[in-house]
Amino acid sequence: GQNIDQPTEMTATEGAIVQINCTYQTSGFNGLFWYQQHAGEAPTFLSYNVLDGLEEKGRFSSFLSRSKGYSYLLLKELQMKDSASYLCAVSTDRGSTLGRLYFGRGTQLTVWP
Partner 1 sequence: DTEVTQTPKHLVMGMTNKKSLKCEQHMGHRAMYWYKQKAKKPPELMFVYSYEKLSINESVPSRFSPECPNSSLLNLHLHALQPEDSALYLCASSQDQEFYGYTFGSGTRLTVV
Asked whether position 87 contacts partner 1 by CB under 8 A, the answer is yes
Cα distance between residue 46 and residue 48, in whole Å: 7
Is residue 44 near partner 1 by the rule CB under 8 A? yes
The Cβ of residue 98 has, within 10 Å, a number of other Cβ atoms equal to 9
84 touches 36 (CB < 8 A): yes
Q: Which of 73, 101 has the CB closer to partner 1? A: 101
As measured in angstroms, the least distance from the Cβ of 55 to partner 1 is: 13
Residue 98 in the binding site for partner 1 (CB under 8 A): yes
Q: How many Cβ atoms sit within 10 Å of the Cβ of residue 25?
A: 11
Q: Counting contacts by CB under 8 A, is residue 38 touching partner 1? A: no
Three-state DSSP class for 95?
Answer: coil
48 binds partner 1 (CB under 8 A): yes
Q: Give, in degrees to the nearest 5, the angle at Cα 1 between 26 and 71.
A: 30
| List of residues contacting partner 1 (CB under 8 A) | 30-31, 33, 35, 40-45, 48, 87, 89, 91, 94, 97-101, 103-106, 108
